[in-house]
Amino acid sequence: MNDTEIIEKARTLLGDKILEVSNPAVRRIFLKVDSKDLLKAVEVLKNDLGFAYVATISGLDSGESFEIIYHFGNAFSQLNLRTQVPKTDPHVESICPVIPGAILYERELQDMFGLVVDNIPDPRPLILPDGWPAGNYPLRKDWKYERPPEKIPGGKP
Amino acid sequence: MKFTVPIGPQHPALKEPISLRMTLEGEVIRDADLRLGYNHRGLEKLAEEKTWLQNIYVTERICGICSHSHATCYTQGVEKLMEVEPPKRGIYLRFLVAELERVHSHLLWLGVAGHEAGFDTFFMYTWRDREVVMDILEMVSGNRVHYAINTLGGVRRDIDDLQKKKILDSLDILRKRSQYYLKIGANEPSFVARIAGVGRLSKEDALALCAVGPTARASDIAQDVRKDDPYGMYAEVPFEVATATTCDVLGRVVVRVKELMESYNIIEFLLKNLPDGPVAVRAPRRAKPNEVVSRYEAPRGENIHYIKSNGTDKPERLKVRAPTLANYPATVVMLKNGFIADIPLIFAAIDPCICCAERAVTLVNARSGQERVVLMSELRRQAQERWKKAPPKKDAVWPL
Amino acid sequence: MLQRIVRWSRKKSPWILHLNSGACNACDIEVVAALTPRFDVERLGVLLRATPRHADVIIATGPVTRQIKDRIIRIYEQTPDPKFVIAVGACAMSGCVYRGAYNIMGGLDQVIPVNIYVPGCPARPDAILDGVVKLLGTL
């Protein structure tokens, strides 16, 4: 099935849950849904459209809200599902009940952006070090890092 | 009685720090758990402060073994953002280096697998052949690792006829030697018996946990980005996707050996059909606001980069997912119900690029709570002694 | 007299420990490639050991990440005296491309004292061998 057939089928199954659709290049489809329809959309993608493989989950800090993009793939095409949550209420539903392999990517989202993923099976931090002060989320645009001055061994202090 | 064994950083068996905690019962592993982060270098934040060209060198140094794969995946994506089409000769040279890198990575892994299974002679043989490939790469690009041959709009160097002839001659030597290893591997029953049946990953588990690369292909899933989503010139090159049906470490060895042979054929095809022309075009400094998803088949699996631009000469967001991260949940499943003596072999079978962790195992006695650190080499030595005494599995057969 | 024999044997056969503190692996593969038949460092008496308790020389690569900083200090203290540290690669010297990232300390000498620096990205196996030989010459 090529891209246009996939988009048609998605429209018939999900109807008006899809807010935006675009197909900028061959085998690249971008869909946008609302955050409360996320789990239903992922179930439809897995069971009816054949996208059972999640490559990764990217987070973006776009000013007033966070955008989360789920990258799916199968033997025919590559589909990206986008959703948006406001910064004042950064909660998103976990897709692990449908696709268990997404657990590490959701833990990384929690670490890097401070998003809260509801019903995640394993909420521990993934990649930040043990002594990291809480409340510092490195990939937010307003978080800056000041490098402490280095000491040069054998040089002037 | 359950023990919890932390396998922590600092391990002699090669490579990078990672920490695994395993719960044992006797010698059988019941549960495993990961702690990443020893190798987290904060690259995605750093990439937002450097220009498009400087980021090629940053992405190259994500990994030392598959450095060209990250650089090419990034460069492909940025060329789409800037709407720049590199010339055909440039594309062919870029993927010539990519296939050479795949050869060197699989030879490296075969040596490591031999070393973990106790077959040190094999390790020395394959790494000696790897030096032949490193010499070719040094002749083409100037460095043994981190070739930096990509630039936005093509490649930086060209090859002439004398170099082409030298590469084809070396390819003959490598082919002959690889056939010899195939013969050794098939006729060495202790080696085959050691790796058969270890680290099982069924097809349903591999699909549910989103495994990639040879780990998934050994469980009979024909998933290869070069066939599903062809990039560069792979749509014109005839090759086959290698799969195996045994779902264990033996299957992964077979898949990688088949891929090695396919790579030799692809390199020969590329050299014989190299088109003439320029090798690079000029690329602009800024990119229009857009986003792109770029995928690439690295030696370990699928590499995916998501790049977003906002009209300036620095990226807005660069997201990288290396293939070994996708194989971690599958590793946890593979370790369950396995023996503690098999931990080095199972972990090496997914080809960890933990720049991927160093592994030291900490054994915690669950009853008394005492901890005892055991090095991976100690585990490997115990594993070898244990397997020397076990009866050979007469029914393990090399399926190639 | 005994001191002279001990010092001679230490010079002729150093045992090394290979430590990776968050590197990209290229320098580590070059360290292991130094053991392979082409560069063959074992003919000089150098042996790769697994544990810090047996090692004379620590060969360390990689920019030091925050998570592994405490472990490196612990390993350095576990190695018995006299010990020497060789920092291999541009990352261990000053951080290479990663200078300025939030999780990097900026070079190995911010954490433990270093005797020899071997530059390169990655450092060639011959250069690593040269560094080890220079170290032994100062003993």
> What's the domain range around C52?
14-133
Give chain B's mean pLDDT: 80
Higher pLDDT, C50 or A59: A59
d(CA C132, CA B274): 44
Q: At B50, which amino acid appears?
A: K
- Which tokens sit at B277? 């022309």
d(CA B226, CA B297): 6
Around Cβ B266, how many Cβ atoms within 10 Å?
21
Least Cα separation, residue B231 to chain A (angstroms):
11
b/e string for A34-47 if b means 16 or more Cβ within 10 A? ebebbeebbebbbe
Peptide bond into C63 cis (omega under 30): no
Residues 6+ apart with CB under 8 A from C64: C21, C22, C72, C104, C105, C106, C107, C108, C110, C111
d(CA B233, CA B212): 22
CATH number assigned to the domain comprising residue C68:
3.40.50.12280
Q: What's the Cα-to-Cα distance from B308 to each of B74, B314, B320, B386, C98, rounded to whole Å?
A: 11, 10, 12, 53, 21
User: Scanning the structure block, which residue is given the tokens 């789920």?
Assistant: A70
Residues 6+ apart with CB under 8 A from B23: B2, B3, B4, B5, B29, B30, B31, B32, B366
Q: Is B147 exposed, middle or buried (0-12, 13-18, 19+ CB in 10 A)?
A: buried
Q: pLDDT tens across A76-119, in order?
A: 888 899 998 988 888 888 888 888 888 888 888 888 888 888 88
Residues in A 61-100 with any Cβ partner in C closer than 8 A: none
User: Scanning the structure block, which residue is given the tokens 């150098």?
Assistant: C46
3-state SS string for B48-83: HHCCHHHHHHHHHCCCCCCHHHHHHHHHHHHHHHHC
Q: Is A118 exposed, middle or buried (0-12, 13-18, 19+ CB in 10 A)?
A: exposed
Give chain A's mean pLDDT: 84
Tell me which residue of B263, B204, B213 sits closest to B239, measured CA to CA. B263
Q: pLDDT tens across A20-55, in order?
A: 888 888 888 898 998 888 888 888 888 888 888 888
Q: pLDDT tens across C17-75, in order?
A: 888 877 778 888 888 888 888 887 788 788 887 778 888 888 888 888 887 888 888 88
Residues C63 and C104 sit within 8 Å (Cβ to Cβ): yes
pLDDT 10s digit of each residue in chain B, 400 long? 566 666 655 554 445 556 667 777 777 777 777 777 677 777 888 888 889 999 999 888 888 888 899 999 999 999 988 889 999 999 999 999 999 999 999 998 888 888 877 778 888 888 888 888 999 999 998 888 888 899 998 899 999 899 999 999 999 999 998 888 878 777 778 888 888 878 888 888 888 888 888 888 988 888 888 888 888 888 888 888 888 888 888 888 888 888 999 999 999 999 999 999 998 899 888 888 988 999 999 888 888 899 999 888 889 888 888 888 888 888 888 887 777 777 777 777 777 665 533 333 334 334 444 444 444 445 555 555 555 665 555 555 555 4
d(CA B53, CA A72): 29
Q: In CATH, which superfamily holds the domain spanning B43-198+229-237+262-321? A: Cytochrome-c3 Hydrogenase, chain B (1.10.645.10)
pLDDT recorded at residue B384: 56
pLDDT recorded at residue B10: 57
- Position A137 pLDDT exceeds 70: yes
Contact A150 C106 (CB under 8 A): yes
Residues 6+ apart with CB under 8 A from C74: none
What sign results for the dihedral spanned by CA atoms B62, B68, B72, B75?
Answer: positive
The residue of B317, B325, B327, B331 whose CB has the most chain A CBs within 10 angstroms, and thus the best one to mutate to test that interface, is B317
- Alpha carbon B17 to its chain centroid, in Å, reads 17
**Cβ-based contacts of A145 with chain B (< 8 Å):** 45
Residues B98 and C63 sit within 8 Å (Cβ to Cβ): no
Asked if residue C6 is part of any domain, the answer here is no
Would you tell me the crossing angle of helices B120-141 and B161-186 to the nearest 10 degrees?
170
DSSP string, A26-76: TTEEEEEE-GGGHHHHHHHHHHTS---EEEEEEEEEETTEEEEEEEEE-SS
Tell me which residue of B31, B57, B33 sits closest to B43, measured CA to CA. B57
Contact C33 B61 (CB under 8 A): no
User: Scanning the structure block, which residue is given the tokens 């090759």?
Assistant: B239
Q: pLDDT tens across C102-115, in order?
A: 778 778 888 888 88
Can you point out the beta strands (E) in chain B?
A: 2-8, 19-25, 28-35, 150-151, 154-155, 290-298, 301-309, 315-321, 360-364, 371-375
d(CA B378, CA B364): 16
**Cβ-based contacts of B321 with chain A (< 8 Å):** 55-56, 105
pLDDT recorded at residue A70: 92
Contact B378 C50 (CB under 8 A): yes
Would you tell me the crossing angle of helices C26-33 and B120-141 to the nearest 10 degrees?
120
Residue A105, phi then psi, degrees to nearest 5: -70, -35
User: Scanning the structure block, which residue is given the tokens 């949550």?
Assistant: A85
The residue of A104, A137, A140 whose CB has the most chain B CBs within 10 angstroms, and thus the best one to mutate to test that interface, is A104
Reported as type and span, the H/E element at residue B47 is none
Tell me which residue of B170, B110, B111, B109 sits closest to B139, measured CA to CA. B170
Asked if residue C3 is part of any domain, the answer here is no
- Alpha carbon C12 to its chain centroid, in Å, reads 17
d(CA C34, CA C125): 5
pLDDT recorded at residue B375: 46
- Alpha carbon C7 to its chain centroid, in Å, reads 20
Q: pLDDT tens across B221-280, in order?
A: 888 888 888 888 888 888 888 888 888 888 888 888 889 999 999 999 999 999 999 988
- State pTM to two decimals: 0.87
- Mode of pairing for the β-strands spanning B360-364 and B371-375: antiparallel
Residues B56 and B77 sit within 8 Å (Cβ to Cβ): no
Q: In chain C, how many domains are there?
A: 1
Q: At A82, which amino acid appears?
A: R
Q: At C118, which amino acid appears?
A: V
CB contact C67 to A (< 8 Å):
yes
d(CA B266, CA B234): 10
| DSSP conformational letter for C126 | H
Residues B192 and B253 sit within 8 Å (Cβ to Cβ): no
- Mode of pairing for the β-strands spanning B301-309 and B290-298: antiparallel
pLDDT recorded at residue C29: 85
**Cβ-based contacts of B101 with chain C (< 8 Å):** none
Contact A145 C100 (CB under 8 A): yes
Would you tell me the crossing angle of helices A103-113 and B323-335 to the nearest 10 degrees?
130
Question: Taking the CA of residue B195 as centre, how many other CA atoms within 13 Å lie in the half-sphere pointing to its CB?
Answer: 32
Q: Which domains does chain A have, with CATH numbers?
A: 3-118 (3.30.460.80)
Residues C18 and B343 sit within 8 Å (Cβ to Cβ): no
Its ipTM equals: 0.90
Nearest to C101 among B37, B45, B131 (CB): B45
DSSP H helices, chain C, are 2-12, 26-33, 66-78, 90-94, 125-137
Contact B61 C24 (CB under 8 A): yes
Question: Taking the CA of residue B114 as centre, how many other CA atoms within 13 Å lie in the half-sphere pointing to its CB?
Answer: 20
